[in-house]
């Protein structure tokens, strides 16, 4: 019942907000904030009750379309639970960060809540049809959130995001159906149950085809080079809080798909393609970092740094060792927080200075000292400073992948230097230097804005110093997963 | 007993005749001289009240007939040797058609009040059209199917030209009539060939005749010679193949499948909008019901031939419909091409030719119907508020007229989003589950390529639906066209919009239940 509540309370909240009188802005904003707080509270409670070694937990099961073997199955394990928690946390913060959104705040909050239902559902669903329904449900509110409240090129960014993702996911659907029919033959009864279909040993050639079909769906979301071109557009045009969710959660849906579906269900195909995926991961890492370096717009820089950081996740997934997989999950969680924080910070400066151009910002240490310190913290976290969570994640991925892909890891490790390069250079230009008079007049961070970043700061630091807090959740599940893929 | 099963049709017939008399007798006299029909704003309020009354009566007749259908559910009554076959298949489609009639009637009231008040023939014609559709779906005899089809068609021609002062409406009627008459003739020729082969117009007899083996008694199949003749190898079988070609073409016209679709965009664009809504679901669904009966029940043994033919029509319709819809500026024309594309999707179910395929057709029709009717209800509402009219087009029919609708009429705009999501096939709407089941039927039959064609086309279709959504939500309204004061939506239209939007989601989430309906209905097809 807990997971159902966590998934559908936002939907109820969306309906409540949609029916709330339009004039009472404070009322529906508070209602939205409370609605996002409930899944957060539920996931915190679940964290205390979660038993890392026990596989799928909080499982709920109900018949939906029994004649076709479609069921309503929700459950979380060490792979999905961190994502559920991250979704609840970031949506709550995103809601708080959107307090002064305009125009049409009511529609905005209703869509934000609808989006949360979709995201939560993706990470909890254990039935392919249910998974697909939530997967697509994410698409629609996201389209409107970018398209209505986005920047100047919002229309283009929104439809590009929509079409890319839709194309990827309909091909994924064909793959799922192929798996369903093959699975029905092998099992003797039709089912879309993820866990049950994992038990089927599909023929190798079949695995290759279906893996490729699912790859398209997941790779667009991650995004893996060369499917990444929607990302900078969408991230840059989206309003702040939506960028946070886009980078923090939606990208993770892709890598989560690999870990939940592709690896355990098609282990042979996964190891067949693993080298290619590792290469693409390293391309993401290095290419993303170089492109980020050349950006003049602060938000674009953060967007491309996401491409680079998601490369680590793909490298870790391709390697398939328990340590590399731990690193991948850790990176998904940590990048969600760090990039989320960076986007929040970019939004704050844009709200004040009405520009995101690095060249037009300088000397923020003098002008906005509190803001500058937080930005420095987030940037250091992003470049992988030891003691913060990003470092742990990247170290685990690189160490875990080294025995498998020595050369690739050595090449990929160059990313650390490049990342440090563009982040430090950005800080030098934005934070140091002569303070500009027009910036000095700006107000520093408000209490509400502080409230959106402090939870992230605390978590980033705590996980950096005491990574076991997260690793203990994920490890047992990942050891199992690595054993399935063949423990390479 | 038998007559009770026929109650909905009897109610419709009796009530429509009474209504016809009332309408002609009680019609307010047209004042000599000035004919106000061309000037919507000048329509006298009193005349409008007549339309409300007649429209309300029509809607009530449909509702009563729908209720009269309920007691007969689950039974199976054959009348006059299969001339009428009131089985679960018929029940599903009769229910669907009555619901269509009800919704179309509700949408029409406000439209007629403005555009053609106090004429009244509209309502009996609508009732007869639905009656014809019901007969088409509930017969196992080609003669009755043809009579039903002609009843629908004749009413449709007249209704298309109902706005007799509007040149586009008249043009639509003439085009529809000419092509429709040719299609009917082609169809009738196919039927006559089958009659020649089987000596009967009954689908059961035809099935026996074309199935080949001479020993199949009763049917006077001509060539009774070699014992081991493959199905379709007899003279009757040869005639069957010839008839097949004519039937595919004839029905292809009626469902507006490419390349037999040319009449549709003009007819859809010119016809009064509520009638366009009716065309896009009613006669089309009836033709599909007849297709299922004729091909599955009558010509089941020629399956390899007709599945190939339908596959060709399906693929062509999907591509032609979706690609032609992309550049359209008039929303009714766009929806016409969208309807062609949807005929293509549905034809995939026939191209698959399995029980799963026929179930998919029935469920998809259910899903498509409410989404499409709802979309047209929104189109009616929007064109009603755009008085005067943009230059060079009918008022409120250009996609540009939808600018800022999300702000002015959030209910209409969001409902439109739900319909379009369903028409594209995005969950959790009914359209998704319809396409999902069509996919499954195709993949199960090993025709993955057909599934991939649907996939590609679904993505193409985003392009034009998106164009409307973009206008409604993203494009800022020019200040010059600020919302008109006192803008309102007719409550009947709002009710239809709300009901169809909810149904579009409910039919999706209740997939198991509604697929069960489709399964029960199509189970009667061999």
pLDDT at position B225: 40
**Average pLDDT in chain A:** 89
By C-alpha distance, the chain A residue nearest B455 is A170
How does pLDDT run across B434-451, given as a tens digit for each residue? Answer: 999 998 888 888 888 888
Domain assignments of chain B as residue spans, ordered by start: 2-26+46-214+230-479+488-522
Does residue A275 form part of some domain? yes
Give me the residue from B426, B451, B462 closest to A136, CB to CB.
B426
* The total number of structural domains that make up chain A: 1
How does pLDDT run across B405-435, given as a tens digit for each residue? Answer: 888 888 888 999 999 999 998 888 999 999 9
Interchain proximity B512–A65, CB inside 8 Å: yes
User: Which of helix, strand or coil describes residue B85?
Assistant: strand
pLDDT-based confidence at B226, cuts 50/70/90?
very low
Query: Nearest C-alpha of chain A: how many angstroms from B425?
Result: 10
Considering only residues B392 and A44, tell me which one the structure prediction assigns the higher pLDDT.
Answer: A44
Q: Does A163 touch chain B if contact means CB atoms closer than 8 Å? A: yes
Q: If you average pLDDT over residues B183-189, what whole number do you get?
A: 92
Does residue A3 form part of some domain? no
Interchain proximity B515–A139, CB inside 8 Å: no
pLDDT at position B480: 56
Q: Is the pLDDT reported for residue A220 higher than 50?
A: yes
* Interstrand relation of B84-86 and A57-65 (parallel, antiparallel or unpaired): unpaired
Query: Nearest C-alpha of chain B: how many angstroms from A239?
Result: 14
Give me the residue from B440, B459, B515 closest to A170, CB to CB.
B459
pLDDT at position B96: 92
pLDDT-based confidence at B452, cuts 50/70/90?
confident
Give me the residue from A132, A137, A174 closest to B455, CB to CB.
A174
Q: Percent helix, strand, coil in chain B (nearest 5)?
A: 75, 0, 25
Query: Nearest C-alpha of chain B: how many angstroms from A122?
Result: 13
Interface contacts (A, B; CB < 8 Å): 77
Interchain proximity B440–A177, CB inside 8 Å: yes
**Which range (B158-162, B314-318, B478-482) has the least confidence?**
B478-482
Q: Which of residues 412-471 of A touch B (CB under 8 A)?
A: none
pLDDT at position B155: 92
Considering only residues B50 and B154, tell me which one the structure prediction assigns the higher pLDDT.
Answer: B154
Q: Does B470 touch chain A if contact means CB atoms closer than 8 Å? A: yes
Number of neighbouring beta carbons within 10 Å of residue A386: 11
pLDDT at position A215: 92
pLDDT at position B37: 46
Please say whether the dihedral angle defined by the alpha carbons of residues A257, A263, A264 and A268, taken in this order, is positive or negative: positive
pLDDT at position B484: 52
Interchain proximity B474–A154, CB inside 8 Å: yes
pLDDT at position B361: 93
Give me the residue from B421, B443, B474 closest to A177, CB to CB.
B443
**Residue A16: closest CA among A84, A67, A8:** A8
Q: Are B119 and B46 in contact (CB under 8 A)?
A: no
Q: Maximum distance among all alpha carbons in chain B?
A: 81
pLDDT at position A178: 87
**Residues of chain B contacting A166 with CB distance shorter than 8 Å:** 426, 458-459, 462
Distance (Å, whole) CA B89 – CA B85: 9
Considering only residues B101 and A53, tell me which one the structure prediction assigns the higher pLDDT.
Answer: B101
By C-alpha distance, the chain B residue nearest A172 is B455
Interchain proximity A144–B473, CB inside 8 Å: yes
Distance (Å, whole) CA A274 – CA A486: 12
Distance (Å, whole) CA B302 – CA B244: 9
Q: If you average pLDDT over residues A368-389, what whole number do you get?
A: 90
Does residue A280 form part of some domain? yes
Give me the residue from A64, A133, A167 closest to B427, CB to CB.
A133
**Which range (A300-304, B206-210, B355-359) has the least confidence?**
B206-210
Distance (Å, whole) CA A312 – CA A393: 9
Whether complex ipTM tops 0.95? no
Does residue A36 form part of some domain? no
B174 token code pair:
């003439």
pLDDT-based confidence at B390, cuts 50/70/90?
very low
Pick the residue of A7, A143, A177 with the most B CBs within 10 A to test the interface with B by mutation.
A177
User: Which of helix, strand or coil describes residue B396?
Assistant: coil
Give me the residue from A155, A177, A178 closest to B474, CB to CB.
A155
Interchain proximity A174–B452, CB inside 8 Å: yes
How does pLDDT run across A104-156, given as a tens digit for each residue? Answer: 888 899 999 999 999 999 999 999 999 999 999 998 899 889 988 888 888 88
pLDDT at position B319: 94
How does pLDDT run across A243-274, given as a tens digit for each residue? Answer: 999 998 999 999 999 999 988 889 888 889 98
Q: Is the pLDDT reported for residue B387 higher than 90?
A: no
Considering only residues B29 and A157, tell me which one the structure prediction assigns the higher pLDDT.
Answer: A157
Domain of residue A390 covers: 267-488
Q: If you average pLDDT over residues A443-450, what whole number do you get?
A: 85
Interchain proximity A66–B512, CB inside 8 Å: yes
Interchain proximity B515–A67, CB inside 8 Å: yes
**Which range (A98-107, A414-423, B171-180) has the least confidence?**
A98-107
pLDDT-based confidence at B507, cuts 50/70/90?
very high
pLDDT at position A447: 85
pLDDT at position A379: 92
Query: Nearest C-alpha of chain A: how many angstroms from B512?
Result: 5
**Residues of chain A contacting B473 with CB distance shorter than 8 Å:** 144, 147-148
Does residue A343 form part of some domain? yes
**What predicted TM-score, i.e. pTM, was given to this entire model?**
0.88
Does residue A135 form part of some domain? no
By C-alpha distance, the chain A residue nearest B427 is A133
Burial class for A359, CB neighbours closer than 10 Å (0-12, 13-18, 19+)? exposed
pLDDT at position B1: 57
Cα atoms found within 13 Å of the Cα of residue A402, Cβ hemisphere only: 8
pLDDT at position A396: 92
**Average pLDDT in chain B:** 83
Q: Is the pLDDT reported for residue B391 higher than 60?
A: no
Q: Does A67 touch chain B if contact means CB atoms closer than 8 Å? A: yes
How does pLDDT run across A153-189, given as a tens digit for each residue? Answer: 888 888 888 888 888 888 898 889 889 988 888 888 8
Pick the residue of A170, A176, A184, A237 with the most B CBs within 10 A to test the interface with B by mutation.
A170
């Amino acid at each position: 019942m807990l997971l159902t509540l966590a998934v559908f309370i936002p939907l109820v909240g969306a309906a409540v907000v949609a029916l709330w009188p339009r004039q009472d802005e404070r009322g529906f904003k508070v209602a939205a904030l409370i609605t996002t707080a409930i899944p957060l509270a539920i996931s915190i409670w679940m964290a205390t009750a979660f038993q890392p070694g026990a596989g799928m937990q909080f499982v709920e099961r109900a018949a939906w379309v029994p004649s076709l073997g479609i069921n309503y199955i929700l459950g979380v394990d060490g792979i999905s639970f961190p994502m559920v928690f991250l979704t609840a946390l970031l949506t709550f913060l995103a809601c708080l960060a959107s307090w002064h959104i305009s125009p049409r705040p009511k529609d905005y909050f209703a869509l934000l809540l609808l989006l949360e239902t979709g995201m939560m559902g993706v990470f909890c669903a254990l039935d392919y049809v249910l998974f697909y329904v939530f997967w697509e449900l994410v698409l629609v509110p996201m389209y409107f959130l970018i398209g209505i409240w986005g920047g100047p090129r919002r229309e283009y960014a929104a439809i590009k995001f929509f079409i890319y993702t839709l194309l990827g996911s309909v091909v994924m659907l064909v793959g799922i159906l192929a798996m369903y029919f093959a699975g029905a033959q092998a099992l003797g009864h039709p089912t879309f149950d993820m866990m049950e279909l994992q038990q089927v040993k599909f023929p190798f050639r079949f695995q290759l085809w279906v893996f490729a079909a699912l790859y398209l769906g997941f790779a667009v979301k991650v995004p893996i080079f060369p499917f990444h071109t929607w990302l900078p557009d969408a991230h840059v045009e989206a309003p702040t809080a939506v960028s946070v969710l886009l980078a923090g959660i939606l990208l993770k849906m892709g890598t989560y798909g690999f870990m939940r579906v592709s690896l355990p269900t098609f282990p042979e195909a996964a190891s067949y393609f693993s080298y290619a995926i590792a290469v693409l991961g390293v391309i993401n890492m290095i290419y993303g970092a170089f492109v980020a370096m050349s950006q003049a717009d602060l938000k674009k820089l953060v967007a491309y740094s996401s491409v680079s950081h998601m490369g680590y996740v793909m490298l870790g997934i391709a390697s398939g060792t328990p340590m590399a997989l731990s690193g991948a999950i850790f990176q998904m969680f940590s990048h969600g927080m760090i990039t989320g924080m960076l986007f929040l910070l970019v939004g704050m400066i844009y709200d004040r200075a009405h520009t995101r151009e690095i060249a037009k910002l300088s000397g923020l240490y003098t002008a906005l000292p509190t803001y500058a310190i937080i930005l420095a913290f987030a940037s250091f976290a992003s470049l992988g400073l030891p003691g913060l969570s990003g470092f742990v994640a990247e170290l685990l991925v690189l160490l875990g992948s080294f025995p498998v892909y020595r050369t690739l890891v050595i090449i990929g490790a160059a990313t650390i230097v490049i990342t440090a390069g563009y982040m430090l250079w950005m800080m030098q230009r934005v934070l140091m230097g002569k303070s500009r008079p027009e910036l000095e007049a700006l107000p520093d961070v408000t209490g509400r804005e502080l409230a959106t970043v402090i939870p992230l700061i605390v978590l980033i630091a705590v996980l950096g110093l005491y990574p076991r807090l997260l690793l203990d959740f994920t490890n047992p599940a990942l050891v199992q997963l690595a054993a399935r893929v063949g423990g390479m | 007993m038998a007559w009770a099963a026929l109650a909905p049709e009897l109610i419709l017939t009796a009530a429509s005749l009474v209504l016809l008399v009332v309408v002609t007798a009680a019609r307010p006299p047209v004042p000599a001289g000035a004919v106000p029909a061309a000037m919507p704003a000048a329509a006298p309020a009193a005349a409008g009240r007549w339309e409300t009354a007649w429209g309300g009566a029509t809607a009530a007749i449909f509702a009563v007939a729908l209720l009269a259908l309920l007691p007969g559910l689950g039974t199976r009554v054959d009348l006059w040797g299969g001339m009428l076959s009131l089985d679960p298949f018929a029940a599903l489609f009769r229910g669907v058609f009555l619901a269509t009639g009800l919704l179309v009637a509700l949408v029409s009231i406000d439209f007629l009040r403005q555009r053609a008040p106090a004429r009244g023939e509209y309502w009996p014609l609508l009732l007869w059209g639905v009656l014809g559709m019901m007969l088409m779906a509930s017969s196992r005899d080609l003669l009755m199917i043809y009579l039903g089809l002609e009843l629908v068609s004749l009413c449709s021609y007249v209704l298309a030209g109902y706005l007799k002062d509007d040149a586009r409406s008249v043009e639509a009627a003439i085009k529809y009539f000419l092509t429709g008459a040719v299609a009917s003739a082609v169809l009738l020729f196919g039927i006559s060939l089958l009659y020649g082969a089987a000596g009967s117009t009954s689908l059961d007899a035809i099935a026996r005749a074309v199935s080949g083996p001479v020993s199949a008694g009763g049917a006077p199949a001509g060539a009774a010679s070699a014992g081991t003749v493959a199905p379709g190898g007899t003279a009757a079988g040869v005639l069957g193949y010839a008839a097949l070609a004519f039937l595919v073409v004839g029905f292809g016209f009626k469902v507006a499948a490419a390349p037999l679709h040319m009449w549709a965009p003009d007819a859809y664009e010119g016809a009064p909008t509520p009638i366009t809504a009716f065309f896009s679901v009613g006669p089309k669904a009836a033709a599909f019901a007849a297709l299922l009966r004729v091909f599955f029940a009558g010509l089941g043994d020629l399956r390899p031939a007709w599945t190939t033919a339908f596959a060709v029509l399906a693929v062509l319709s999907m591509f032609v419909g979706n690609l032609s819809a992309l550049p359209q500026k008039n929303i009714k024309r766009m929806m016409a091409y969208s309807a062609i594309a949807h005929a293509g999707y549905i034809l995939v179910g026939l191209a698959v030719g399995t029980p799963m395929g026929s179930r998919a057709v029935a469920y998809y029709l259910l899903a498509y119907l409410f989404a499409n009717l709802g979309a047209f209800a929104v189109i009616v509402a929007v064109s009603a508020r755009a008085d005067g009219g943009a230059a060079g087009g009918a008022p409120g029919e250009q996609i540009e007229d939808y600018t800022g609708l999300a702000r002015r009429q959030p209910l209409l705009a969001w409902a439109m989003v739900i319909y379009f999501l369903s028409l594209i096939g995005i969950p959790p709407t009914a359209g998704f589950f319809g396409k999902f089941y069509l996919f499954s039927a195709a993949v199960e039959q090993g025709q993955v390529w057909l599934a991939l064609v649907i996939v590609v086309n679904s993505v193409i279709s985003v392009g034009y639906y998106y164009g409307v959504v973009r206008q409604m939500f993203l494009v800022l309204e020019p200040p010059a066209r600020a919302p008109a004061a006192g803008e309102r939506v007719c409550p009947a239209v709002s009710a239809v919009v709300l009901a169809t939007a909810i149904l579009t989601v409910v039919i999706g989430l209740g997939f198991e239940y509604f697929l069960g309906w489709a399964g029960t209905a199509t189970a009667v097809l061999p």
